Amino acid sequence: MRTCRGAYLGGALLLVGTNLCGLAIPWLLKLAIEELQHPASGRFTPGQYGAMIAAAAVGQGIIRVFSRTTLLNAGRRIEYLLREDLYGKLLTLDRTYFSNWRTGDILSRLANDLTNVRMLLGFGVLSVLNTFVVYTAALILLTRISPFLTICAIAPFPLMIFIVKKLSASMFKTSKRMQEALSRLTTRVEENVSAAAVVKAYCREEGEIETFRQVCDGYSDASMAVAKIRGFMLPVMASTGAFGTLIILFVGGAQVVRGELTLGGFVAFNGYLAMLVWPTIMLGWILNLVQRGAASMARLGEILNASAEVVEPSDPVDPGEIRGEIEFRNLTFSYGATEMLRGITLKVPAGSRIGIVGVVGSGKSTLVRMIPRLFPVPDGTVFIDGVDLNRISLEKIRAAVGFVPQEGFLFSRSIAENVAYGKPGAGREEIERAVRIAGLAGDVARFPQGLETMVGERGVTLSGGQRQRVSIARALLKEPSILVLDDPLSAVDADTEEEILSALSGYYGERTVLIVSHRLSPLRGCDQIIVLEQGAIVEQGSHEELLELGGRYAAIHKEEQLKAEIERL
């Protein structure tokens, strides 16, 4: 809010101005009535009083436009800045954080909760300031007209404040529960839209509709709970003002009859009391807005206060141009309570090719994700060119690593933009070369728009193999010192795999290459192959050495040969 402090101050001053104009009208009306009763003692004619009342009304309307615009724009400006902060914060958080959050929940916070905060800092601040100014000025003027009547008018207010205080505590809890229910609703929609093909394939439309209906019922119940509290709060506010007006009609009317209060004073008193009715009713809406905004701020605070486990080193070391030597020293890593890697010790010379094989869940992907620090790395366990990985800046190490995950993510952009994502400003020839090495050139040539073909959300218009090859091309375009291929050919056929491997072999050059695969064919030509089992290295050596060993690797090799023979039959 500091960036908008000037706007709030200016809006507050304008709000004071518009209310002073509004408060002047009953007082001028009082003077006009008294002038009509005692013409000889008046300073202005009735026509002059009428002109002043009209001028005050026009001034109130004009200034009100500027006061509302200034304060509401300040709320929108804060929403804009807060959205930027939230988005920037999300990009600093690591994989560990997102694995514990639902995408729909995050989207709900960035949309609905931000809207609630904007309403609080826009309409909410406007209403609070307006109520404060009107109440303060009106009570001063009411007291000046008749202190006794003022006490009678505000007599019902303590009971109202007590009731509202009790309701506001329930409003906060109920509002937060409603926002959480909305998050679950958003998550359900996001999941089902993304998995529409799966839902249809398993004929689960009716089941998903029923589940969605249950989630909607939960949100509806939470919303109705908020509406009930608010529905009870508003009549309490309105009845308080009405009861005060009723008292004034009896007590004030009697004072006018007895001559203790002028008719003009009675009219002005009722005018000021009427001015308090709407702010009093609005007080319930403001409290509802404040509680909803506070609940939303608490939910947004959970993102803003989150901290990444993978952080920049406090005293980074510049290793110069990274050559690609990698060393693991007794690396042990746990994901939650599950131990993923156990005592990994391995040295990978710069420019060598390392194959990693093992069953599903053996820790292959976790091991290679340590190199670009996608997971938090224990100090003194991973070294790049002899330097502790945790002492190299994230930008430096990630710029030197070309990482191809098993399930490559594509943005809803063109093929060319997806390939050039890691190297903005890449030339057309560079993109075409990367596409050619990745074995995607033939497919691109068949697309009507070639490289400018839009791939749709998450690459939905491409096949699984095409998406993987776009991911490979994206990594190759970076010209990295270290290339990590995490089972990137699992969705391509044998002929395409052979074509890609042949093209990649000419690309590797002096780069350090780590290839993860559940099949052995991509590991041909590797200088060294390691076999992982339950997070530990159980076998290590060249292809020939591992076959001679007759262990797990040899068993996988024999199994693949049998499958190939069966397919040829």
Which one-letter amino acid corresponds to residue 156? P
pLDDT confidence of residue 420: 86
Structure tokens at 554: 């040899």
CA distance 490 to 519: 8
pLDDT-based confidence at residue 568 (cuts at 50, 70, 90): low
Q: How far apart are CA 431 and CA 451, in angstroms?
A: 9
Give residue-wise pLDDT tens across range 221-241: 888 887 777 777 667 666 766
- Helices of type H across 38-93: 46-92
| Greater model confidence, 482 or 95 | 482
d(CA 39, CA 44): 9
pLDDT-derived band at 243, boundaries 50, 70, 90: confident
State the DSSP string of 90-105: HHHS-HHHHTTS-HHH
Cβ density class 129-164: b for 16+ within 10 Å, e for less:
bbbebbbebbeebbeebbeebbebbbebeeebeeeb
Lowest mean pLDDT among 21-30, 172-181, 197-206, 400-409: 197-206
Q: Picking from 69-78, 98-107, 376-385, 474-483, which range would have the lowest pLDDT averaged per residue?
A: 98-107
pLDDT of residue 383: 92
CB 182 within 8 A of CB 108: yes
Interval 288-307 mean pLDDT: 81
CA distance 321 to 323: 6
pLDDT higher than threshold 70 for residue 196: no
CA 110 to CA 52: how far, in whole Å?
A: 49
Give the pLDDT confidence of 42-77 residue by residue, as tens digits.
677 777 878 888 888 888 888 888 888 888 888 888
DSSP 8-state secondary structure symbol assigned to residue 532: E
Q: Write out pLDDT tens, residues 436-469.
A: 888 888 888 888 888 888 887 777 778 777 888 8
- Please give the average per-residue pLDDT across 541-549, as a whole number: 86
What is the per-residue pLDDT for 205? 74
Residue range 179-197: average pLDDT? 73
Per-residue pLDDT reduced to its tens digit, 14-50: 888 888 888 888 888 877 777 777 766 667 777 787 8
Of residues 249 and 41, more confidence is placed in 249
Task: Give Cα separations from 22 to 25, 54, 214, 325 (angstroms).
Answer: 6, 11, 50, 77
pTM of the model as a whole: 0.69
Which residue would you say has higher pLDDT here, 28 or 352? Answer: 352
Query: In whole numbers, what is the pLDDT of the chain averaged over residues?
Result: 81
pLDDT computed for residue 169 by the predictor: 65
What percentage of the chain carries pLDDT values higher than 90? 2
Q: Which of 138-142, 279-283, 370-374, 410-414 is most confident?
A: 370-374
Judged against a pLDDT cut of 60, whether residue 106 lies above it is answered with yes
Q: Over 60: is that where the pLDDT of 1 sits?
A: no
Q: Which domains occur in the chain, in start order?
A: 2-304 (1.20.1560.10), 326-568 (3.40.50.300)
Contacts with 528 (C-beta within 8 Å, 6 or more apart), sequence order? 348, 352, 353, 354, 355, 540, 541, 542
Are 34 and 262 within 8 A, CB to CB?
Answer: yes
Reported as a pLDDT band with limits 50, 70 and 90, residue 404 is confident
Residue 567's pLDDT is 66
Q: What is the 3-state secondary structure (H, E, C) of 460-526?
A: CCCCHHHHHHHHHHHHHHCCCCEEEEECCCCCCCHHHHHHHHHHHHHHHCCCEEEEECCCCHHHCCC
- Checking if the pLDDT of 471 tops 80, the result is yes
CA pair distance 72, 93, nearest whole angstrom: 32
Res 198: pLDDT: 67
Highest mean pLDDT among 151-160, 254-263, 299-308, 528-537: 528-537
* Contact between 22 and 61 (Cβ < 8 Å): no
Of the pLDDT bands very low, low, confident and very high (cuts 50, 70, 90), residue 364 is confident
> How far lies 565's CA from each of 518, 559, 560, 561, 569, in Å?
19, 10, 9, 6, 7
